[in-house]
Structure 1
């Protein structure tokens, strides 16, 4: 018999609230199966199990908040006989969820879970005429006095997420503020929406501040910048996309992610974790992608095995990851597996990004905007060429500037051969 414990979904997460069980005593579970939904006060996350077995007992009731590492369930290993004199314990009754959403643990998950999102979970088909919505979204809408039938869902299959409810509540508040006497949502709902939005924003900022303060306090950062010519990559991308429908076109961000992943294969010291006083190299390139959220804040879930993915597949997976991150439909492995983070602020107009490493990772790569700048070609001719400034923030406990410089050079060289990516 073994225990299934509440996993850590971030370096600073110390507790979470169990929202939903997807299994019952007696169920057989498989590696990678989603068995529960846990709210970290920043996101409702599908939690996977990574051992085969049969559920014997559910130890924690939905609605309970418990520390990281708390046993949530006990399971029998494959072939193991159940204890004598007993049958699997019944599934615990759900604890009614509280309408308030401003409660937060002493420390919450940092940047990667900076959005409070709905649990995008598998639920029974809704009755005819009932809008599909996550449990958290349904509870929040009821607390705010909002009708789900009036909302537009951004989740899978048009399901209404918690983010959709909060957005509708904020729009109702704006209506009341801008149209005196205009019919809108009840005053109590408007006040609650304003308070909730303010609390979430304050909590998000506190969490980011704590995570980054810890990073700068504990990690001896060093920074490097590299100007990369992008004419070949741009030309290749233009020619490739010219023959594709809009829905199948590639973004430059995909080429940059693939270039980073290939460079990591040459320089594994940039790809891994610093834990318990030692560096643990990652087995694959699981790249955390910094994604801005519509309601503010950032989240950086992982794209798995980037080096092994063809560009078309990587583009599809990136689009899916962005969509699910903004709808609040992420898995625990996507929030805990990233072995390096890439942030791209080029579309925001910044020239360069000097990022802060997300512990326990040991490196972060940033890309600024692609812009025409003076450039000396190989033949010595001066011209205006599209270039991008790539940055590296790395951990001096694991690598030195020499290693970092060679890593950035490898990223640069990969982007000069886009056809090989």
Structure 2
């Protein structure tokens, strides 16, 4: 018998609410199959199973809030059958009730702070700019369906503030609390050091302009893709920055999965992973990046995208920021930041000129690397960006 436990979807998650099952007893489960949808403080996440077997029992009912590591389903191993398996006692988590608003009876308050929403409905709500908490679900057990979202999109906007405003505020507070807990842990446990370097991007921007001139709008690249690819290729040469600090030691990552910091429309931040970035052509990365941003903001990410990142990249150039010094996301051991790409005075071959530049920064864990190693890594990022054909 194999227990499938609720996985951790990042350092800022210690519990989740089961929204729906995608399996039932008797189903055969394959590696990588989505088996459930779990709501975290940041998003509804499709949870993948990386074990194989037949589903014996679902231990948790939709709507239950459970801690990370809690068994939520059991699978039969090879050679086992439902008739011969030792039946486990269901382990039901305690569903924490939400305190009622003043003047409202307890029974009118939902048992969880976030609504149960199908992934398709959540995605459509993000496209329409709707808050799922403001909608009424007509699906089984009150689940908000795609039809509910479409109907709300056709209805006039409400003019009065009510309980949904409080629910939205509660969700926002939960997200800020989760982010704060992860960042506090990072600053408490990780001895950070910081470096920055200004990189001239004249060759890269000229290459990008030429490449995009012969492309359709759907095929055009953004500068952020060049930055991500340069970081990934540099990590091949400096692997001590690509991995995790676990159980008192550095564990190198199996591949280069870059977490991409994405600001959410409702506030807060999430950093899902682009997988195997160093091995992919720029056009493919551009498509995957656009898809990742869209799904992050509509709340339809997969668990592997929230747990696999081996280094996070944050870009705040669209906010006009020159330099960003980030906080490492544990258990990762480094974070790379990029500010805005802007024209700056530059000396080239003894001549003063104006060229597009970006400030690249590195926050790294002193338990794993030192400033000399980090400086060489930034130097490799600079070399790659100034030779765009190498990307």
Same fold, TM-score > 0.5, yes or no: yes
Cα contact 1:102–1:200 (8 A) shared by 2: no
TM-score by length of 2: 0.85
Aligned length: 368
Match of 1:410 in 2: 380
Shift of 1:165: 10
Cα contact 2:25–2:57 (8 A) shared by 1: yes
TM-score by length of 1: 0.79
Q: What is the CA deviation profile of residues 313-356 of structure 1, one whole-angstrom value per residue up to 9, with x for unaligned ones?
A: 00000000001001100001101111110001111100000100
Distance change in 2, residues 1:122/1:54 (3 Å): farther
Match of 1:380 in 2: 350
Partner secondary structure for residue 135 of structure 2: helix
Query: Unpaired runs of 5+ in structure 2?
Result: 99-107, 139-143
1:92-111 to structure 2, matched below 5 A, reads none
Match of 1:127 in 2: none
Q: What is the CA deviation profile of residues 33-75 of structure 1, one whole-angstrom value per residue up to 9, with x for unaligned ones?
A: 0001111233211000001111111111111122111111111
Query: Unpaired runs of 5+ in structure 1?
Result: 105-114, 124-130, 145-150, 154-158, 177-186
Match of 1:128 in 2: none
Aligned equivalents of 1:345, 1:277: Cα separation in 2: 32
Larger displacement relative to structure 2 (345-354 or 204-213): 204-213
Aligned equivalents of 2:152, 2:40: Cα separation in 1: 17
Match of 2:221 in 1: 250
1:141 and 2:135 matched: yes
Match of 1:65 in 2: 65
Aligned equivalents of 1:166, 1:403: Cα separation in 2: 54
Cα contact 1:48–1:332 (8 A) shared by 2: yes
Match of 1:333 in 2: 304
Cα contact 2:137–2:148 (8 A) shared by 1: no
1:286-297 to structure 2, matched below 5 A, reads 286-297=257-268
Distance change in 2, residues 1:383/1:29 (3 Å): same
1:18-417 to structure 2, matched below 5 A, reads 18-84=18-84, 118-120=117-119, 141-142=135-136, 159=146, 172=157, 176=159, 187=160, 190-377=161-348, 379-417=349-387
Q: What is the CA deviation profile of residues 359-382 of structure 1, one whole-angstrom value per residue up to 9, with x for unaligned ones?
A: 1110000000111112111x2222
Q: What is the CA deviation profile of residues 125-167 of structure 1, one whole-angstrom value per residue up to 9, with x for unaligned ones?
A: xxxxxx9x9xx987851179xxxxxx9x9xxxxx5798x9999
Q: CA RMSD in A?
A: 3.4
Distance change in 2, residues 1:328/1:304 (3 Å): same
Partner secondary structure for residue 183 of structure 2: helix
Shift of 1:393: 0.3
